[in-house]
Amino acid sequence: MDNTNNNQLGIERIGKLLVRMVIPAVVAQIVNLLYNIVDRMFISSIPYIGTLALTGVGVTFPIIMLISAFSALIGMGGSPRAAIKMGQNNYEEAEEILSNSFVSLVGISVILTIFFLIFNEKLLLIFGASENTIIYAKQYANIYVIGTIFVQIALGLNPFINCQGFANIGMKTILIGAVLNILFDFIFIKIFNIGVRGAALATVISQAVSAIWVLRFLSISKQTKIKINKKYFKLKKSVMLPILALGISPFIMQSTESLLNIAFNSSLKKYGGDIAVGSMTIIATIMQCVNLIAMGIGQGSQPIISFNYGAGKMDRVKKTYKLTISISVLFTTIIWILCIIKPEIFVGIFAKDDEAIMSYANVALKIYMFSVFIMGAQFACQQAFVALGEAKTSLFLAILRKIILLIPLIYILPAIIPDGIVMPIQQIGASVSLNSKVFAVFLAEPISDFIAAMSTITLFIFTTRKLNKKFEK
């Protein structure tokens, strides 16, 4: 049977297909947020130490993002290539890509676990932990790192389920883990009073169950079109190099969150103290929510774009990315309006019991999210570059926003904006203020967002025109 013609990714109406793929992907990302958000909500409610514990856990964010980034390196680098091969009706090579990716994820897990267990305290201090918060950061990180292999398998192999068109099954991978995470958070923190360690343990157990679910589907399920096959366990240079070349862009996008977190926390700690770092923890969580949902929209469209690109159906490719960009921009515009008009809707989820930090974060969020409306195009176009196999362009854009623009601006702007400008914060009657240096640090985000988004849109227009001419010839 010719799988290219019979696969729904190649024949179903684009609008209907995109809804069927995007909704589960977005739901999966929303549910995935619960791994961090629920942990932080439970942690912030711990009597007497809630705010300090929350700040401590926020410091572990770079480690968590770096572990996730390696799963993206393999999963987001391998799955689009597997989808393109399936579009070309080459299912044997697609299976080889999956199997090599599995072996790589296991090897990476071992290396990361050993590294973070040895150096975690030194890293946490670099990431912004203080003498008041290091104890909570270590409690969370020590347990989370032990579960690295589960994170790698669950997050790294789930894209191979989605790339076959099984978005609902990919969503269940995340949903199962998130439900268990909430359950065990309640048991370990509220019933057994284990505290921060309980939150980390809940996350590890839930990720382990998700990993088993993914392995079972890709190994023995009759539904899957490609399976993990022992005969392809020997890593091949010809297979892995294209995976790494394509996966380096999502890897940089996620791993630089760690560098970004270090830059923000170190600058904010210097100019604003613990209240500024605590506010950044809240804002980073909110931004993570926006990023993941926007990524879900892009990831839902990726299998459609990759499969039809491999099959040479450029009309379907164009319809898919145009609709995806429209949906993504609409989403980020709605978020932008809410952040500017009613920031307390988001901030209140994490700081409703602390008036000072809530007031501070409300003002900081307005500054930080000022250009988020245009980021919908940035996210959608960058995901499309990955889906089309445009590794070099995708890599450049991943480096541009954070490494070339944002991180330098975090240090440059406070140095050039003079002292003495103070923004009083009186929204809830708390006696706190946001000084000019802290304002400059938060201002770095919207400036870099706008420049990066405009650059991405411009490159996307030129790239798609070039691909269209190539297929016309």
Report the predicted TM-score, pTM, of the whole model to 2 decimal places.
0.79
- Listed in sequence order, the residues at least 6 apart from 347 whose beta carbon sits closer than 8 Å to its beta carbon are 282, 286, 358, 361, 362, 365
Q: Give the max Cα distance, the chain.
A: 73
| Banded pLDDT at 79 (limits 50, 70, 90) | very high
pLDDT at 75: 94
What is the rounded distance in angstroms from the CA atom of residue 114 to the CA atom of residue 140?
Answer: 16
What is the rounded distance in angstroms from the CA atom of residue 127 to the CA atom of residue 136?
Answer: 14
Give percent above pLDDT 70 in the chain.
93
Residue 309: alpha-carbon gap to chain centroid? 25
What mean pLDDT is predicted for residues 331-339? 93
Write down the mean pLDDT value for the chain.
86
pLDDT at 3: 46
pLDDT at 230: 93
Token pair for 182: 């909430």
Beta bridge partners of 423: 434
Strand, coil or helix: what is 389?
coil
- The radius of gyration of the chain's CA atoms, rounded to the nearest angstrom, is 22
Answer whether residue 244 shows pLDDT above 50. yes
| Of 63 and 434, more confident | 63
Q: Give me the phi and psi of 167, to 5 degrees please.
A: -65, -35
pLDDT at 353: 63
> Sign of torsion, CA 452 457 458 464?
positive
> Smallest Cα–Cα separation from 253: which of 384, 11, 72, 36?
72
Beta bridge partners of 425: 432
pLDDT at 4: 42
172-227 pLDDT per residue, tens: 998 898 889 889 989 998 898 888 899 899 989 999 999 999 999 999 999 999 99
What is the rounded distance in angstroms from the CA atom of residue 292 to the CA atom of residue 273?
Answer: 29
pLDDT at 446: 93
pLDDT at 6: 46
94-136 pLDDT per residue, tens: 999 999 999 999 999 999 999 999 998 899 988 878 888 899 9
276-324 pLDDT per residue, tens: 888 888 888 888 888 888 888 888 898 999 998 888 888 898 999 999 9
338-375 pLDDT per residue, tens: 999 988 888 887 766 667 778 888 888 989 999 999 99
CB burial readout 437-449, b (16+ within 10 A) else e? bbbbbbbbbbebb
pLDDT at 72: 92
pLDDT at 146: 95
What is the rounded distance in angstroms from the CA atom of residue 375 to the CA atom of residue 329?
Answer: 7
pLDDT at 293: 86
| Banded pLDDT at 330 (limits 50, 70, 90) | very high
Measured CA to CA in angstroms, residue 199 lies from 46, 140, 192, 204, 314 at distances of: 11, 7, 11, 9, 47
What mean pLDDT is predicted for residues 320-332? 92
What mean pLDDT is predicted for residues 444-448? 93
N-to-C CA span, the chain: 29
pLDDT at 391: 79
Measured CA to CA in angstroms, residue 29 lies from 22, 68, 185, 351, 372 at distances of: 10, 13, 19, 23, 18
pLDDT at 421: 53
Answer whether residue 420 shows pLDDT above 80. no
